[in-house]
Structure 1
């Protein structure tokens, strides 16, 4: 590669009077002006600088490093080029580095010579005591270096003519957001590639984004030269001879200064970090001035959506992405200006989007080496690699395939104490869009709920906190609406940054997340140690019913956030979107006001009116005689969704099964769903499989799930994926012909999509219950009258022992495999009730002749996989029990019921067996199967192995199950976030209490002994080879699961 200094020498001869840079006039008085620096002046300054370096420090030895730090003026290019000419490798530390960061860079690069401008001489000189031998020299002023200079043969070096592509030409560094900055050696090959990047091939009719940036007439660059973004514009000015405009370096860069510069110098484009562009947008004349530009280019961080939308209305808005390591990743100009937030990569970039394990809807951009790699900058810097993992996360456009929006970094992810993961970037950018906000930082790492730290803009740093939050609250509500419940920010977790402690920011203006966390560590901990996320303290004892109702209403509004807009005193909060975490939060708020309330109280009384009465009434009055029974609630819901008009003709008789079945699998991406899909693929009788899921990138998510479980590849020829949900008309499919095609082709429907939440009330499940009716209608309208296989639960029949009689002789209770419509049979929880209601709707559809056959599979406890890979979900009750026991060092010596679990992979095999064997076997009755393990073992059989497994690090003692639950009940009222993280069973306390109550209910017979309850499986065993071959849970399986959990 031709040396940049030789290029400068040639330009000074070929184009001496062409403008290189429009630079601020340093001696201008009473305002700001700009003067042209030509290529001949640039050569003069580079020669003067290299001569100065040699006279002060001597010529550079091979690979010797020379550092420079200064204000962001033309001396940066002068020193970078002058150092190369003097034989050095220039190192450009950021002025924002800490002392430790600079020392680390100097030591790592073996740099003992440091140039700096006057402003940085004192702090750089202070490095000398920590680094003996460090030479610190102050460089001349801009005016002095631009003075006419005559080279001498003794001190003015001529420099190298060329560099090999693998040689280091400049050293930059990482931002140091996760520790000390690390040097990045930029190779000459990067500069060579830059020289040819405008020739990069593009698809027909498309244009490269960077061609526009590199070839436009004049760019106002608000980018620092010590950053790769600034180096980009230095190279642009030399290789493409397109000038840039610089802001005055002796003044802070402000939005007002940018506008003045645009008006006076008339550039064709602005290139800046997003924070400055957002400031410009807030000025009254900002958008008007920006409209005079051909385009605005930003990079380094996301731009606030409100600001971007405004700019895209008045001029073109281009988005760039890159890094010090990978320079930039070539992209294409987008077809629709409204898509300005998205990237479409040029195929030459080799960018592949790989779904993440934590959230399959997000993907990491990975640069894969192409055969020639001609336009892939990263592999010049890292020639030994075949791929470069950017750690940048993206989300695909909901409707435009191939367009990806940056949503954060892998290391941005916030992990809450309950194990939920939150990507904070999109939330923060919404808040950043408010003119009163300088910056927003989501907090909550290791805590129960997310919070928000806001840095007010300079004009509002002294504002009253409550008034400030009132002003921005609508934006917080807007952001909350796009996030799941566990990630929403409540008012009580919003805090303001202190003026004396501004957010830590990297050189490109982006927030340094971890450094800012550290800066506010004490304040954040104090926030969470206070009454956690509660509304203002109130003592409700002795208040009137109206006051209590107002308090409850206020508490519910604070928990629901933006969804409270639809709240009425009789609205069910779970139908408005509340979940178990919010139920727990609400109970905490009311408890802090001296009202007796736990999460179960909220589940049982899910409206403002009901909850106010429940928490204010004496305990004996909390269950009034005229309350609607749960059986009546189930009956009403069954009726609402069972309105099947009578058919003119009777149902078709059972027909012979087809030679090969087409299966619609509803809910394929979860644990059981993944194993079901694998079993269907491995079953010769299955032809085509249609997977219906809510996620838009289900195929990628499914393949990731397969990869995690070592299940192989998904053949596109046999499996089709559709995005939708059964509760929506036409299953919510985008194209009507897809729905019609499914109706024409489907032979079997496997209904496997159901929310698993043992705390939610029946009403919270109504959307999926409505979807059950839609599935019946789908089957009714299909010419093939597809067989419906409903994945139910033993929870739908778990109250059987209470409702039916207990044998007086103390013999075991056997729950059979017959369909029973009795509404008192489900467990007293919304989940089991919802499964019973759905099965009842299907039974009514069958009786009305709308569908030809139904199989209800009551699935028991699914364990981890026995034969295949895949971690048993750590959030479920057994992993939660064990995790909690490793903290309390107390393990239940027994469980209320024997172990009749079925490994998930084997359960999937049984489901497919039964789906085929029950196909159109009956048109009059619901076929029912119990998928539980026929070979029960007592919990005590597994306990010694559990104790032995954990014995190297902790001694766990056994206690009676009732005592174990009582210990949790003692801890629960005052549990901290950290305790909940270490003892996740606290979140399932109602569930564990329910197991105890169920065991007590099955006490009878002789001397009140507990009667063993088991499930009949003869029908399932007879129809399924997998069920027939199932063995009991053993110590080997248990050890496998514990190793996978790694508690």
Structure 2
């Protein structure tokens, strides 16, 4: 639907041709040509939808704008240089009336979030030169707090009733677009990149650019997301001071003739409130933030109601768990996310069918996704020759490209599709949709002498939490930790005073990390937040759960006096609610019939109140929605009384233990294997229409003439270190006719060539011998084209499953896709024409907690879910082993499990031991500090490493062994040696390498003897290097230092093995008998160490 365009200046308001236009002219043009067209509907009451809605047409809206313009001129005079006027008030028509009233009178409005801290308000007002605060009557409490800290002239704007029920003369605006395109339209602020929000000003030219940007014609066969709300009724829950609120209530109506349904102005929006509103009016689309998505997904009745009363739900402002999105996508007609930012506006994007979380941008928009790290890419907007359709360059006129700071992941199998994954600048996005940059808070708390590091977390949660790593490494008792928190609390309160209300840290949300599990660091010694959070996932979950149960976020005097309140004692309940609200909000007085949300209570304060009431009243079923719908002492006390009557005896919900989770995931995937056993076979895929024929002699004929009589191997994870050697050895094996390499990357052949080149392996691959396929193992047909899958199904004789994320910080549920992928490969084995065997490359971490009085870990499946290492990686490998064992008996497939230990460098082929790994990093760093540890942790460590090329040969050898049931192998070195036996060769290599140490990082003069020191002493010296790294500002020197001493990056790992006595022993006799390669393998030789060291130092 094309938008309306109106003439400008003093010309009559008539529909004109499409061209860049001023929003204020579009508004007046609509009022002139279509006065009765509906702009919006507003609730009659501020607190309930039961009184219905009143309609505001474009004549009404324009009249309110004229009234506000005349009021501004009367009270302030006409603006001379677009002076800034701030406004904080209820979420009603006054926001947009002020926006256009200010434009007409020569001012610019600044819509600031009332949730900002006072220092943030002060910074923003100073940066915008704001000296006047406009507000409603009565003024929200935050206005007085701001004015108390930053002198401002305060004026109360007209009421909604006056603006809509009085008739005002037209207030003219006579500028043309060319004259006004660089004039300000509206000032807003970002969430900030340094902890303090940054003000920015949209111009009229920005708005016109956004109009063209958002309404670009989509590619053929696609539908623009922007067009979903053209001419429809939109119910947005985003606040008016948010950029998303402006998109929904200003741009959507004026660009797309969308009618807006406003939420209650006197209540915090919620999904239940949305449903209540839909009982009294109709809407086609709702625009929500992530917390309301969770609210919907946790309430089946609410979901059912919304699915029947809305066509589309859109969300914006943050990420949501995939499980929530899947639920809504399965129920709603349409469900998707809007992508963009305050600087650029919403990206012009297309619908992508069933992939609800994925989007495709219009190629005309000039958006590039540039690789950052892991699987993440940052969105950049590149200036085009004609940038009129790119609004960001109306803000930043002198730049050629704009780095958004937003991170995205590429779809594993569909090029051009992207999914939002967060921000590059550590901004935390709470489940409430509110954001904070914790940098300044972390830095302030870290200044405390007892603190080594502090990080704030809270993404996809309702509230922030603080993780503190102490300078002292002494273990602390529970009482000692509590004492530390008390000593830190004044500093934390100082930091709280400088941050937004929704980001404050409560005492109940502080975790002192264990010295035995230090925070994860990477790169230049900086903290890796996500790995650290993943490492402490269990502890953090417990922290939030305990805080929820105890509700000790804020302790009040009344709580201490009352203890558990008798719900039947109405007077005490009323008193407790009143006292709690006053304590949480810091208000001096709370009237029983005062609406808290009108007076400025925010979502975090509502959450804290919910927790306090749940605890003090012993009402575990009390939900935050009860607070939202009863925001007065009088109504909430009645609601609590009713709830207590319905409350049933609470059932204690025990936390699912680690073993229970393992068994649960095991049973969940066993059920999928049972389904394979009972489902029909794959014969239809092998029909001749796919170009594949099964011959009577067992060979397979293809339409291209190829006939297979040899091994056809499916290899997953070929681009990894071990996978690269397996692939090359398979291709060097004459009995292997073809290898199918299944990898997630979109161009795995190019990646294979690049990585093989680095590893010194061949880079020439014949298409007759190897196929590189982009796969998604957990998807139907492994994410492959059905014909390709049928070809594999018909020809494969062996499957080597080597792909698994090597990340020891991920929790077990994170590995669900890998377990699903293992089941899909089991299905391939069970339904394949040649019943291909499976070799699963497992890990000794799957049995690292094995404890038996008599022996080492046997070469068999262990039916004890306590044996894996307590980390998701080992636990997931253990479950996969059990699944293969189950499938071997249930489906009669041949399965082998190889529990791999430490993999060393190659000895029989070219290539190097990756010097980024822990042992090479240890030896390289020993050269830098002039000392090598005499042990590797505790005692003289047993060295049962296997060279990577020998391991690859052994795994291929074992994969070709067909046995009955699930076979378990331990491909370890059968002739272990010790670190002390290898130490002379290490020292000799270090002494020979001294002359090549970079001068910028010299600490030991060439020729000086390399010391042998205790592991603790070596560790202390590396810690000293870490401190030196942190103090280095010279980039070149820093890079040289990190190259010379890479152990700095792995310090937490070395600290974890200081007193380790958990090196598990494994039996190897069966493996030796089955593998000639392993049985003939010698112990790690000193000359091998020299060979590897030569590669590290060359």
**Band the TM-score falls in, shorter-chain normalisation:** 0.5 to 0.7
Question: Are 1:201 and 2:248 counterparts?
Answer: no
* SS of match in other structure, 1:102: helix
2:720 corresponding residue in structure 1: 670
Partner of 1:72: 91
Structure 2 vs 1, CA of residues 221 and 66 (structure 1 numbering), >3 Å: closer, same or farther? same
Query: 1:872 Cα deviation (Å)?
Result: 0.7
Aligned counterpart, 1:610? none
Cross-structure match for 2:327: 309
- 1:291 and 2:305 matched: no
| Deviation at residue 76 of structure 1 after TM alignment | 0.4
Q: Aligned partners of 2:834, 2:200: CA distance in 1, in Å?
A: 64
What is the correspondence of 1:28-67 to structure 2 with a 5 Å cutoff? 32-67=51-86
Structure 2 residue 1020 is matched with structure 1 residue 985: no
* Distance (whole Å) between structure 1 residues aligned to residue 43 and residue 1081 of structure 2: 86
C-alpha deviation, 1:248, in angstroms: 3.3
Counterpart Cα distance in 2 of 1:750 and 1:286: 44
RMSD: 7.4
| Superposition pairs of residues 778-857 of structure 1, within 5 angstroms | none
Partner of 1:141: 159
C-alpha distance 729-402 of structure 1, shift in aligned 2 (>3 A)? closer
Greater alpha carbon shift after TM alignment, 91-100 vs 363-372:
363-372
TM-score by length of 2: 0.52
Taking the TM superposition and a 5 Å limit, the aligned residue runs for 1:525-564 are 558-564=657-663
Q: How far 1:183 sits from its partner (Å)?
A: 1.5
1:238-294 CA-partner distances (Å, limit 9, x unpaired):
233332122331344355543343232323333232434554674856633651333
Deviation of 1:102 after TM superposition, in Å, equals 1.0
CA contact (8 A) 1:668 1:702 kept: no
For structure 1, the 5+ residue unaligned runs are 429-438, 449-464, 466-482, 521-553, 577-647, 650-657, 759-763, 794-821, 824-828, 839-850, 852-856, 921-927, 969-978, 999-1014, 1022-1026, 1041-1047
Residue 1031 of structure 1: how far off its partner (Å) = 6.6
8 Å contact kept, 2:413–2:783: no
- Displacement, 1:99? 0.9
Structure 1 residue 49: deviation in Å? 1.7
Question: TM-score normalized by structure 1?
Answer: 0.54
**What is the CA distance between 1:35 and its match in structure 2?**
2.3
Task: Return the alpha-carbon distance in structure 1 between the equivalents of residues 276 and 83 of structure 2.
Answer: 42
* 2:237 paired residue number: 222
CA distance in 1, matches of 2:160, 2:840: 79
State whether structure 2 residue 790 is matched by structure 1 residue 720. Answer: no
1:37 CA displacement: 2.3
- CA 1:374/1:4 → structure 2, altered by over 3 Å: closer, same or farther? closer
| C-alpha distance 492-744 of structure 1, shift in aligned 2 (>3 A) | closer
Q: Deviations over 1:556-584 (max 9, x none)?
A: 972334223489xxx9xxx99xxxxxxxx
Q: Distance in 2 between matches of 1:766 and 1:45?
A: 60
1:138 shift after superposition: 2.2
Separation in structure 2 between the aligned mates of residue 442 and residue 748 of structure 1, nearest angstrom:
49
Deviation at 1:385? 4.1
Equivalent position of 1:211 in the other structure: 227
Q: Distance in 1 between matches of 2:309 and 2:829?
A: 60
Report the Cα offset of residue 231 of structure 1.
Answer: 0.9
Partner of 2:189: 173
* Aligned position for 1:634: none
Residue in structure 1 matched with residue 114 of structure 2 by the alignment = 95
Quote the Cα distance in structure 1 between the aligned partners of 2:819 and 2:42. 67
| Residue in 2 that maps onto 1:192 | 208
Partners in 1 of 2:822 and 2:23 — Cα distance?
A: 69
Distance change (3 Å), C-alpha of 1:296 and 1:891: same
- Deviation of 1:139 after TM superposition, in Å, equals 1.6
Note closer, same or farther for the CA distance 1:859–1:26 as it changes in structure 2 (3 Å cut): closer
SS of equivalent residue, structure 1 residue 47:
helix
How far off its partner does 1:78 sit? 0.8
User: CA separation in 2, counterparts of 1:937 and 1:486?
Assistant: 39
Separation (CA, whole Å) in 2 of partners of 1:268 and 1:894: 65
Aligned residue number for residue 985 of structure 2 = 938
Answer yes or no: is 1:496 the counterpart of 2:547: yes
Cα displacement (A) at 1:890: 9.1
d(CA) in 2 for partners of 1:424, 1:46: 40
SS at 1:195's partner residue? Answer: helix
**Aligned equivalents of 2:825 and 2:305: distance in 1?**
55
Structure 1 pair 29–767 and aligned structure 2 pair: CA distance change class (3 A): closer
In 2, Cα distance between equivalents of 1:80 and 1:912: 68
Change (3 A) 1:299 1:741: same
Displacement of 1:741 after TM fit?
5.2
Aligned 8 A contact 2:715 2:802 in 1:
yes
TM-aligned CA distance change 1:775 to 1:211, over 3 Å:
closer
Conserved in 2, the CA contact under 8 Å of 1:662 and 1:687? yes
Mapped contact 2:47–2:265 kept (Cα < 8 A):
no
Distance in 2 (CA, whole Å) between partners of 1:985 and 1:219 is 56
CA shift at 1:94, angstroms? Answer: 0.8
Q: Which SS does the other structure have where 2:26 is aligned?
A: helix
Closer/same/farther in 2, CA of residues 323 and 495 from structure 1, 3 Å limit: farther
Number of the residue aligned with 1:799: none
Note the residue ranges of structure 2 that are not aligned, 5 or more in a row. 1-19, 431-437, 439-450, 476-508, 510-532, 555-580, 586-596, 612-652, 672-696, 699-707, 809-814, 845-857, 860-866, 870-876, 882-893, 895-899, 961-971, 1005-1009, 1023-1047, 1068-1078
User: Aligned residue for 2:337?
Assistant: 319
Contact 2:38 2:58 in 1 (8 A): yes
Secondary structure at the counterpart of residue 350 of structure 2: coil
CA shift in 2, pair 1:160/1:142, >3 Å: farther
Question: Aligned partners of 2:36 and 2:804: how far apart in 1?
Answer: 73
Matches within 5 A, 1:162-561: 168-176=184-192, 179-196=195-212, 199-216=215-232, 218-232=233-247, 233-255=249-271, 257-276=273-292, 278-279=294-295, 282=299, 284=301, 287-288=304-305, 291-302=308-319, 305=323, 309=327, 312-313=330-331, 315-336=333-354, 339-349=355-365, 357-358=373-374, 360=375, 364-367=378-381, 376-383=390-397, 384-394=399-409, 396=411, 404-410=418-424, 411=426, 439=462, 487=537, 492-493=542-543, 494-497=545-548, 498=551, 558-561=657-660
SS at match of 1:179: coil
Partner of 1:892: 934
- Residues 775, 317 of structure 1: CA spacing in aligned structure 2 closer, same or farther, 3 A cutoff? closer
| Kept in 1: contact 2:85–2:134 (CA 8 A) | yes
CA distance in 2, matches of 1:187, 1:691: 53
Conserved 8 A contact 1:894-1:938: no
Distance 1:399 1:1031 in 2: 43
Supply the distance in 2 between the matched residues of 1:30 and 1:767 (Cα, whole angstroms).
46
Report the 3-state secondary structure (helix = DSSP H, G, I; strand = E; otherwise coil) of the residue aligned with 1:81: helix
Partner SS state of residue 46, structure 1: helix
Residue deviations 1:218-253, cap 9 Å, x none?
Answer: 222322221121111312222333321223313443
Per-residue deviation, 1:87: 1.5
1:959 aligns with 2:1013: yes
- Secondary structure of the residue aligned to 1:40 is helix
Are the counterparts in 1 of residues 43 and 53 from structure 2 also a CA contact under 8 Å? yes
- 1:7-63 per-residue CA deviation (whole Å, 9 max, x = no partner) reads 222222212232222233469999534322232232222222223223333332335
Contact 1:860 1:932 in 2 (8 A): no
d(CA) in 2 for partners of 1:29 and 1:394?
A: 42
**Quick one: distance in 2 between partners of 1:319 and 1:110?**
36
Aligned to 1:496, what secondary structure does the other structure show?
helix
Matched, 1:872 2:916: yes
Kept after mapping to 1: 8 A contact 2:383/2:390: yes
Q: Distance in 2 between matches of 1:766 and 1:150?
A: 70
Contact 1:45 1:145 (8 Å CA) reproduced: yes
